[in-house]
């Protein structure tokens, strides 16, 4: 049925959970699609975005067969219920085979390969890994050559298999594709347990600190996949661009398994995903060539697409789907005006397999909304008790509070239950950490994120307000606002931008522009930096810790100058966790300490002779 609003969603739910979701595990979804059309294309992988003849085509029958072959391989290597396959691979057909095969044999733990080796080693131990699959040596992206020796140096003795390599992979305990090919025959392995059994561990909580793993049940993943397929109206004829990594829930479930559950085709833009410049520069020709119907992209990628002239027939294109960070209204309007195709928003988090709310494609795009809750789930806006979200204080329509949810998409918690406090609450509630509201039509809005709020004195400043105002400037391509430490106010708002090609605006001009657009004067940024590129995560989100680090450098340099200390003699080091050390000439030590007193930093100040 077509879903355009909350009434349609409630009508769907009236049919009953089992009628709407007859397949409650990823493996059941894949088997159903393969049984319906075994020869249909499940995955089109662009080995060379400039040469369609090089495309790798994987049918549903192939995907099912190879995934079972991987399950036999993994079982022989000790992967049983309670043990995992650690997957550090680019988004490729082989990675899909490892992901789904690992869930048959035991469970999987997809890991960002760009994390530090010591952190990865900790994740391997916490996830109960029995085998590791890593992208092998190739000309496009080679982390094998440094990562594998570093993991061995960290004491990792597990078998490490290379996939998708183009050259010799020193230290490999086998080539994944060859080993799968050798396990295509034999008895099938039936996944043990029901839909509530552990399917995967997904790491979260940033790139530093002790391992933090989210437990995904099979039902969590299947529910998100089918819910997104329903709200996005996915069908077998859809061709969906998915350049997200599989260690990200959007790549695996929101865009990945959802498309496969509908019998559609995943189009993967090579090992580099949406960082494949050949693909990005020819995006509209790719739409025409492959009959692309849907493009999944974070807002930063949408902004880049807006700079590429539409120079091909894009009549097959239906929608742009986006999420991962707030969707600026100006960006959505620009994309729709340029292409004539709608943009729809998604809100998700790792702790619920990637989806809290989705804007249905057949409903209107509502500025600043991220859509409707998942079917058979519940979203509430909670008030606080002693600073914590309180399920007994549910707020009404259009009241702002903390967003919480419960339902089949919500994880049972972290692998270490001690980490659940404050996030997973009694009654099945998951606290998102986002601040928002629900309107009378059931649409969810995010107005800020608790940990992103800039606190200037006793005044809370929403960084999104600053970012949206900056994005209204015709020369600004992207923007991010963070708090800069201040000894008096605690934090002051600052911002960073990238400019469109040929633009000349500087920080002073942008601040002058904002004076007319930001109603609250305390929210006006004290400084705006113009960068060539904003720091991004592997999935294209703006990585604000890097910007906070730069803001700390600004703050300390400014404090030194105010204290009469030449900034050139001040040595500043800021760690990934934002711990800060400052070294100055001994004669200026007392003055520097006084200048920095009150700054909300983990700060060490020393003098040198």
Pairing of β 476-486 and β 401-406: unpaired
User: By mean pLDDT, which of 216-230, 442-456, 522-536 is the weakest?
Assistant: 442-456
Mapping DSSP onto H, E and C, the string for 282-308 reads: CHHHHHHHHCCCEEECCHHHHHHHCCC
Q: Which two tokens stand for residue 258?
A: 């959802």
What gap in Å lies between CA 524 and CA 535, rounded to an integer? 22
Which tens digits make up the pLDDT trace of 272-321? 999 899 999 999 999 999 999 999 998 878 888 988 999 999 999 999 99
pTM of the model: 0.83
Q: In angstroms, what CA-CA distances link 599 with 457, 564, 587, 593?
A: 12, 18, 21, 10
Residue 54 has pLDDT above 50, yes or no: yes
What gap in Å lies between CA 498 and CA 509, rounded to an integer? 14
What gap in Å lies between CA 116 and CA 126, rounded to an integer? 16
Per-residue pLDDT at 458: 53
- From the list 538, 29, 23, 28, the residue with the least C-alpha distance to 257 is 29
Per-residue pLDDT at 306: 87
Q: Between 67 and 519, whose confidence is greater?
A: 67
Per-residue pLDDT at 579: 84
Which tens digits make up the pLDDT trace of 564-583? 998 889 999 998 778 899 99
Pairing of β 84-88 and β 454-456: unpaired
Q: In angstroms, what CA-CA distances link 333 with 132, 151, 366, 596?
A: 44, 46, 11, 44
Percent with pLDDT over 90 in the chain: 79
Which tens digits make up the pLDDT trace of 117-146? 988 999 999 999 999 999 999 999 999 999
What is the chain's mean pLDDT, rounded?
A: 93
Per-residue pLDDT at 325: 64
Which tens digits make up the pLDDT trace of 371-411? 999 999 999 999 988 878 999 999 999 999 999 999 999 99
What gap in Å lies between CA 26 and CA 430, rounded to an integer? 22
Per-residue pLDDT at 330: 79
Per-residue pLDDT at 206: 44
């Amino acid at each position: 049925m077509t879903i355009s609003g909350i009434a349609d969603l409630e009508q769907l739910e009236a049919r009953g959970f089992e009628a709407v979701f007859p397949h409650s595990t990823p493996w059941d979804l894949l088997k159903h699609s393969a049984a319906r059309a075994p020869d249909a294309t499940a995955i089109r992988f662009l080995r060379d975005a400039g040469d369609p003849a090089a495309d790798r085509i994987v049918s549903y029958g192939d995907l099912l067969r190879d995934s079972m072959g991987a399950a036999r391989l993994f079982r022989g290597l000790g992967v049983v219920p309670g043990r995992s396959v650690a997957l550090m691979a680019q988004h490729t057909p082989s990675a899909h085979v490892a992901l789904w095969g690992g869930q048959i044999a035991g469970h999987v733990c997809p890991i960002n390969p760009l994390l530090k080796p010591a952190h990865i080693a900790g994740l391997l131990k916490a996830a109960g890994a029995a085998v590791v699959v890593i992208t092998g040596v190739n000309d496009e992206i080679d982390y094998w050559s440094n990562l594998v020796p570093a993991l061995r140096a960290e004491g990792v003795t597990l078998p490490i298999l290379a996939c998708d390599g183009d050259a010799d992979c020193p230290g490999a305990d086998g080539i994944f594709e060859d080993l799968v090919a050798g396990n295509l025959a034999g008895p099938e392995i039936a996944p043990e347990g029901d839909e509530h059994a552990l399917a995967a561990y997904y790491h979260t909580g940033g790139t530093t600190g002790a391992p933090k793993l989210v437990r995904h049940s099979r039902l969590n993943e299947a529910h998100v996949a089918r819910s997104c397929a329903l709200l996005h109206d996915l069908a077998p004829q859809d061709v969906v661009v998915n350049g997200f990594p599989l260690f990200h829930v959007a790549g695996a479930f929101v865009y990945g398994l959802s498309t496969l559950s509908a019998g559609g085709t995943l189009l993967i833009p090579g090992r580099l995903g949406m960082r494949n410049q050949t693909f990005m520069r020819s995006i509209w020709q790719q739409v025409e060539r492959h009959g692309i119907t849907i493009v999944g992209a974070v807002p930063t990628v949408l902004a880049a697409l807006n700079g590429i002239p539409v120079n091909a027939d894009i009549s097959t294109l239906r929608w742009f789907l986006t999420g991962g960070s707030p969707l600026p209204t100006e960006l959505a309007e620009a994309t729709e005006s340029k292409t004539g195709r709608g943009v729809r928003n998604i809100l998700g988090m790792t702790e619920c397999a990637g989806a809290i709310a989705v804007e249905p494609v057949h409903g209107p795009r509502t500025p600043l909304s991220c859509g409707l809750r998942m079917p058979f789930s519940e979203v509430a806006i909670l008030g606080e008790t002693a600073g914590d979200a309180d399920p007994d204080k549910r707020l009404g329509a259009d009241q702002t509070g903390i967003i919480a949810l419960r339902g089949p998409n919500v994880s049972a918690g972290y692998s270490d239950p001690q980490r659940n406090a404050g996030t997973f609450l009694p009654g099945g509630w998951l606290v998102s950490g986002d601040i928002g509201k629900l309107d009378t039509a059931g649409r969810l809005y995010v107005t800020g994120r608790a940990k992103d709020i800039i606190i200037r004195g006793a005044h809370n400043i929403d960084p999104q307000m600053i970012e949206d105002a900056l994005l209204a400037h015709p020369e600004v391509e992207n923007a991010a606002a963070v708090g800069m430490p201040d000894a008096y106010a605690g934090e002051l708002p600052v911002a960073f931008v990238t400019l469109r090609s040929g633009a000349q605006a500087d920080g002073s001009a942008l601040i002058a522009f904002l004076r007319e657009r930001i109603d609250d004067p305390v929210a006006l940024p004290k400084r705006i930096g113009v960068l060539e590129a904003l720091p991004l995560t592997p999935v294209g989100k703006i990585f604000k810790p890097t910007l906070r680090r730069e803001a700390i450098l600004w703050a300390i340099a400014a404090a030194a100058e105010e204290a009469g200390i030449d900034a050139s003699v001040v040595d500043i080091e800021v760690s990934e966790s934002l711990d800060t050390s400052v070294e100055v000439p001994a004669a200026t030590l007392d003055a520097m300490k006084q200048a920095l007193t009150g700054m909300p930093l983990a700060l060490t100040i020393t003098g040198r002779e």
